[in-house]
């Protein structure tokens, strides 16, 4: 068989067909999982990290009930701690394109996170021992101070036991 002046034999066509079929299978797998991913994304509407963790309604409200442990989540390997320090080089890279402000406040910390260049979000209070993580699934989409795909970024705050509170 000739395609654009190049010959492809039966073996070649079979191989391409197998590759195409494998691609379809992988695509179906990817489609079935596409609703799962990183939590609290900056590039998409905010979602609660777990169905067991109710979405807070205001920054003045009491901290939400803790959800599952961060370490038990599929995206745990993409989590980079930014509080408390020291902040690793990878965490700094993961936070590219984001503005995350954490400061001590009474018996806990105040956390404000937003996309660089956008209006800052209202700070939220978390009790002592909380840790703040940036979720960045693909560090390769960061360049300089620009993150080309904020769709895979998120922010997670955990309590002293490592359970997700946001």
Cα(70)–Cα(5) distance, integer angstroms: 55
Residue 37 touches other proteins, criterion: CB under 8 A: yes
Question: Whole-number minimum distance, CB 106 to other proteins, in Å?
Answer: 36
- Closest to other proteins by CB, 43 or 108: 43
Residues 119-158 that bind other proteins (CB under 8 A): 137-138, 140-141, 143-144, 146, 148-152
Cα(39)–Cα(145) distance, integer angstroms: 22
Residue 114 touches other proteins, criterion: CB under 8 A: no
Q: Is 103 helix (H, G, I), strand (E, B) or coil?
A: strand
Residue 43 touches other proteins, criterion: CB under 8 A: yes
Binding residues for other proteins, how many (CB under 8 A)? 40
- Closest to other proteins by CB, 14 or 59: 14
User: Which pairs from 52-59 meet CB under 8 Å and 24+ separation?
Assistant: 53/164, 53/165, 53/166, 56/124, 56/166, 59/122, 59/123, 59/124, 59/125
- DSSP states of 119-153 as a string? PPPPPEEEETT-EEEEEES-GGGEETTEES-GGGE
Which has the closest alpha carbon to 123: 139, 103, 106?
Answer: 103
Binding mask 45-74 for other proteins (x = CB under 8 A): x-----------------------------
Residues lying near other proteins in the complex (CB under 8 A) are found at 3-4, 6, 8-12, 15-16, 19-20, 22-24, 26-27, 29-31, 33-35, 37, 41, 43-45, 137-138, 140-141, 143-144, 146, 148-152
């Amino acid at each position: 068989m000739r395609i654009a002046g190049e010959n492809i034999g039966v073996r070649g066509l079979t191989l391409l067909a197998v590759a195409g079929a494998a691609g379809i299978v992988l695509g179906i797998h990817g489609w079935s999982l596409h609703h799962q991913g990183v939590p609290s994304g900056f590039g998409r509407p905010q979602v609660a990290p777990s169905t067991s963790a109710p979405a807070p309604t205001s920054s003045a409200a009491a901290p939400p009930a803790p959800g599952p442990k961060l370490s038990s989540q599929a995206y745990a390997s993409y989590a980079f701690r930014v509080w408390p320090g020291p902040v690793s080089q990878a965490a700094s890279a993961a936070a590219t394109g984001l503005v995350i402000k954490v400061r001590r406040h009474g018996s806990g910390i105040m956390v404000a996170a937003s996309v660089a260049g956008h209006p800052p979000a209202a700070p939220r209070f978390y009790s002592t021992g909380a840790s703040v993580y940036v979720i960045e699934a693909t560090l390769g989409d960061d360049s300089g101070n620009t993150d080309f795909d904020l769709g895979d970024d998120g922010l997670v705050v955990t309590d002293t036991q490592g359970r997700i509170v946001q």
